[in-house]
Structure 1
Amino acid sequence: MNKKGMAASLLTAVMLVSAGCGGSDTAGTGDKGGADSGSASGPKKVVFWHAMGGANTKVVDQLVADYNASQDKIKVEAVFQGSYDDLLSKLKASMGTKEGPSVVQMYEIGSRFMIDSKMVTPMQNFIDADKYDLTQLEPNITGYYTFNDKLFSMPFNTSNPVLYYNKDLFKAAGLDPEKPPATYEEFQKAAEAISKTGKATGGNFAIYGWFMEQFFANQGAEYINNGNGRKELATQSLVNSEAGVQTLTWWKNMVDSKAMNNLGRKTDDSKKAFSAGQVGMILDSTAALKGLVDSSKGKFEVGTGFLPKPANAKDGGVVVGGASLWIMNDRADDEQKATWDFIKFLTSPKEQAYWHINTGYFPITKKAYDEQSVKDNMKNFPQFQTAVDQLHQTKLNTATQGAVMGVFPEARQIVEGAIEEVLNNKKSPKDALDAAAKDISSKIEKYNKTVK
């Protein structure tokens, strides 16, 4: 089977179910990027497919406009393709045709598939040829997209989960508003104290598989075998290991005791309850920070803390979420080089500063923090320093690099289903996670056969 046929087969094998962290939930069609790559005398055309909806679409369009205005040899066309799942579906449909993109934004849990598809040119190829200084980028961000010492894609929109808490409710409960809970045990005590005031429920976690993945990494625990799928293809889910059972038992105990409530899977519902002062603590992406701070103005002060972990946990940290940029290898060499030039522009400190301020995602370039605009923004939103510190204090290992598997979108949905079963008293944490691990492992096995 040729590589395009293999890619189509792999795509068919992947069930498109889960929107990734930071992507638009709004379905959109958009026009497919055309095949015209520019005439010999005109600028080289680069088609950029992305999933940044809402206000972020305007930010992407501005970055593209700035790049196009900065030179006259390359013209980038940005095309919004809906949610991450919509985008992946359209990428599938374009394979084997001339209708696909030059560069595509893909959510982090699609990384294993992108590599296995054989349809991408590793970013490392351009880095080596151009002698590009990779040390200028955040190592804990590039780490996720590095396999066998090669950077396969360029990080684009990057986030971490952080703990958001209501400082006013902390004061009312007799808690130190400047000391967020750092461990599972401290979190539970704080949630119980807030609930006992009768002013609000202690906390809420949206039923989001991304959070379970993060709880594993924060304990230094791997989510799947074979080095989180990084030493070789994973064959087994480890979601039912001690790290998972302990976490889900802790979560359920707090719901059972009314220290936390269960609002379902939507992070938007969790954010709305927090902004309304109905819950004292939530988990959410760093990209949600500006919105949560703005929505609380005049009502209460928002605090931020690291993702909690068990008191006896091993060294760990958080895994980057979001998405990265992949250069497609079915485009002409000069078009790929033009795409690389655009990507280099996006990673410059000035552009990363603009991206960070206007979206809330991390800058991937270290020197972006030296830009005055970023310094001013940090003064306005000092809570973001927590996210920066958490990223920098993460110790990079196979657990914190993040798991990679070809069926990650499906796996995330299966885990969410297991959490629901536990919180709704249908199964014990161990039984639910055992069943989830078995189901995920079976899907991994089927996927691996398509790769081999």
Structure 2
Amino acid sequence: MTNSRSPASSARASMSRRRLLAGLAAAALALGTAACGDDAESTDQTVTMWTFKNTHVAALEQVAAEFKSRTGISVEIEAFTPDDVFTSKIQSAAQTGDLPDVLELHAGGEDLRIGGSGLLGDLAPDFPDSAMARFLPSTRAAGLVTEKRRAEQEEVKNAKVGSLFSVPFTAGTFGIVYANRDKMKAAGLDPDKPPRTWEEFVGYLQATTRADPKQGGLSLGLKVSQTGFNWIYEQLAFAHLGQAGFEALFDKDPARGFASPDGLQTLRLYQQLTPYWIAGVSALGIDEADVAFAQGKSAFNVGGTFTLAFLSQNGMSAENLLTFPIPPPAGGKVTDLRLAPLALTGLSVSAQSRNRASAVRWIDHLTSPEGSGAFAKASLDLPATDLGAQAATLLGPRLAALQQYFTGPPENTYDAANRGFRPPDYDEVQVGDPLVKFSPLGETDPAATGTQLDKVIAGMWQKSG
């Protein structure tokens, strides 16, 4: 199962990326960097497309059928999973000149690496600013080569600034709570009413655990320790402290850090979850925690917007789900928390394509409001296209309810992609491990946990010089 959850697959992905970059560099050298892309446009009215997500194939085929009825252009879609298989397929096809016309790739990483090797076409001429305006603002630059990226990322150092190696396709964010409406009802809670505050959410956990002591609590894949920090704690701390106070936790000055009065208060809020984690939660992987929730072993589960599709695949009816972001604490700086979306996957055109014009038309249709809405409704993966007032009509009420959390005033919006205030070599695992020892394991108290987190952050700053 590949679900774009970076914390779960970072080590494996890093190895795959190194192999991919080496293989693509060799392929590009052998082929003279996209020699086929200079050939005359083919008259073939069939576009080929590869994806790494099996769960996207049926939805893509549904949109492709409508696209053919409009344009006469057929689209043939193939999926290769897991990621290592997809990587190998790209490497071998690049060496023989057999890449497809269109690729769905991990956005903001894989697209830049493959594009930087010369194997993706530049979509900037086809998607000027006026066309990019259709996408959610925080996703638009995922596949763009900037001065900063070229200076910092080896794989794009030879790429032209302004090159666009992908346009955003699917988008998502962490920090989404999924509630089992049946379990809420059984606990005497209103299954249509999300908690307005963190304190109310803790009360919901208390009620469902009282009604079902063994299967009424909270699940999360804490075997991947940084999920607790990234998917609950950060949103909670941001809402309590506001942008400036949240960023100060990672400052070089420990007086403003996790062991400060403000930092300790955020840890005390997080500690309120300790009695309500389901048994064995620290040994559950991300997918395992989601499956446990789908099987009724917890009343609440934390994931991302992308979790909805996985829950559905595992038998959880969307009609039995209430979804909401991590609720803000009462009296905090942010009372209506919003979550800026990340571009999860992007659409690229191969530089080897002989059907570039048709490939671009397919990408344009697939990212249009109608095309992206139809895809999202069929796949349960949210689009990067901003559907605005059309969301409820195009997506249906459940998906539209998730996308509404993407937009809001900047001061209320937690942005997981904003890393500028952290140490340059920030390591999520090093902050995730102490938090798991704190809760659910209960091995440390807020003061000791805050001190340890400050020590970890100080070490990262020292390492960076």
Tell me the TM-score range normalised by the shorter chain: 0.5 to 0.7
Distance 1:82 1:225, change over 3 A: farther
Write the letter of the residue equivalent to 1:287: F
What is the DSSP-based 3-state SS (H/G/I as helix, E as strand, rest coil) of the residue aligned with 2:42? Answer: coil
Distance 1:133 1:113, change over 3 A: closer
Asked whether the equivalents of residues 107 and 344 of structure 2 are also in contact (C-alpha less than 8 Å), the reply is yes
C-alpha distance after superposition, 1:54-96 (max 9, x if no partner) = 3323333555566577657x88665534245665677688889
- How far does residue 355 in structure 1 lie from its aligned partner after superposition? 0.8
1:135 aligned partner: 133
1:308 to 327, 333, 343: 327
2:398 to 372, 383, 389: 383
Alignment of 1:403 onto 2:402: no
Asked whether the equivalents of residues 195 and 201 of structure 1 are also in contact (C-alpha less than 8 Å), the reply is yes
Map 1:410-421 to 2 at 5 A. Answer: 411-421=427-437
1:323 to 335, 339, 344: 344
1:203 aligned partner: 218
Write the letter of the residue equivalent to 1:213: N
1:180 aligned partner: 194
C-alpha distance after superposition, 1:333-384 (max 9, x if no partner) = 977666433321211233212211111122333459749xx73862xxx333
Distance 1:172 1:332, change over 3 A: closer
TM-score, L = length of structure 2: 0.63
CA distance in 2, matches of 1:396, 1:144: 22
CA distance in 1, matches of 2:245, 2:101: 32
2:20 aligned partner: none
What is the DSSP-based 3-state SS (H/G/I as helix, E as strand, rest coil) of the residue aligned with 2:303? Answer: strand
Distance 1:57 1:115, change over 3 A: closer
Alignment of 1:287 onto 2:306: yes
What is the DSSP-based 3-state SS (H/G/I as helix, E as strand, rest coil) of the residue aligned with 2:221? Answer: coil
- How far does residue 195 in structure 1 lie from its aligned partner after superposition? 1.8
1:107 aligned partner: 106
Distance 1:55 1:148, change over 3 A: same
Asked whether the equivalents of residues 353 and 369 of structure 1 are also in contact (C-alpha less than 8 Å), the reply is no
Write the letter of the residue equivalent to 1:341: R
CA distance in 2, matches of 1:48, 1:239: 48
More divergent stretch after superposition (300-309 vs 62-71): 62-71
Structure 2, unmatched stretches of 5+, are 1-8, 15-26, 149-161
More divergent stretch after superposition (32-41 vs 101-110): 32-41
CA distance in 2, matches of 1:361, 1:416: 27
Asked whether the equivalents of residues 141 and 364 of structure 1 are also in contact (C-alpha less than 8 Å), the reply is yes
Alignment of 1:158 onto 2:171: yes
Write the letter of the residue equivalent to 2:364: K
C-alpha distance after superposition, 1:201-239 (max 9, x if no partner) = 33223225466435535535499989x9xxxxxx99x99
Asked whether the equivalents of residues 258 and 450 of structure 2 are also in contact (C-alpha less than 8 Å), the reply is yes
Asked whether the equivalents of residues 219 and 298 of structure 2 are also in contact (C-alpha less than 8 Å), the reply is yes
CA distance in 2, matches of 1:79, 1:38: 25
Distance 1:276 1:82, change over 3 A: closer
Distance 1:42 1:412, change over 3 A: same
What is the DSSP-based 3-state SS (H/G/I as helix, E as strand, rest coil) of the residue aligned with 1:187? Answer: helix
What is the DSSP-based 3-state SS (H/G/I as helix, E as strand, rest coil) of the residue aligned with 2:371? Answer: helix
CA distance in 1, matches of 2:231, 2:272: 19
Write the letter of the residue equivalent to 1:60: L
Asked whether the equivalents of residues 104 and 345 of structure 2 are also in contact (C-alpha less than 8 Å), the reply is yes
Map 1:203-242 to 2 at 5 A. Answer: 203-207=218-222, 209=226, 212-215=229-232, 216=234, 219=239, 221=243
Write the letter of the residue equivalent to 1:50: T
Write the letter of the residue equivalent to 2:140: T
CA distance in 2, matches of 1:251, 1:384: 28
1:343 to 348, 363, 372: 363
Percentage identity across paired residues of the two chains: 18
- How far does residue 158 in structure 1 lie from its aligned partner after superposition? 1.7
What RMSD over aligned residues (CA atoms) do the two structures have, in Å? 5.5
Structure 1, unmatched stretches of 5+, are 1-14, 21-31, 229-234, 447-452
Aligned residue pairs total 403
Distance 1:78 1:333, change over 3 A: closer
What is the DSSP-based 3-state SS (H/G/I as helix, E as strand, rest coil) of the residue aligned with 1:303? Answer: strand
Write the letter of the residue equivalent to 2:168: P
Asked whether the equivalents of residues 421 and 432 of structure 1 are also in contact (C-alpha less than 8 Å), the reply is no
1:274 aligned partner: 293
Distance 1:377 1:403, change over 3 A: closer
C-alpha distance after superposition, 1:143-195 (max 9, x if no partner) = 76676897954211222342221334334444443332233332222212322
1:3 aligned partner: none
CA distance in 1, matches of 2:244, 2:357: 36
- How far does residue 274 in structure 1 lie from its aligned partner after superposition? 2.6
Asked whether the equivalents of residues 239 and 436 of structure 1 are also in contact (C-alpha less than 8 Å), the reply is no
CA distance in 2, matches of 1:99, 1:266: 37
Asked whether the equivalents of residues 178 and 300 of structure 2 are also in contact (C-alpha less than 8 Å), the reply is yes
Distance 1:179 1:402, change over 3 A: same
Asked whether the equivalents of residues 240 and 437 of structure 1 are also in contact (C-alpha less than 8 Å), the reply is no
Distance 1:308 1:261, change over 3 A: farther
Write the letter of the residue equivalent to 1:51: F
Write the letter of the residue equivalent to 2:81: G
Distance 1:334 1:258, change over 3 A: closer
Asked whether the equivalents of residues 111 and 404 of structure 1 are also in contact (C-alpha less than 8 Å), the reply is no
CA distance in 1, matches of 2:395, 2:198: 31
Asked whether the equivalents of residues 47 and 103 of structure 1 are also in contact (C-alpha less than 8 Å), the reply is yes
CA distance in 1, matches of 2:95, 2:455: 38
Write the letter of the residue equivalent to 2:351: R
TM-score, L = length of structure 1: 0.65
Asked whether the equivalents of residues 164 and 303 of structure 1 are also in contact (C-alpha less than 8 Å), the reply is yes
What is the DSSP-based 3-state SS (H/G/I as helix, E as strand, rest coil) of the residue aligned with 1:279? Answer: coil
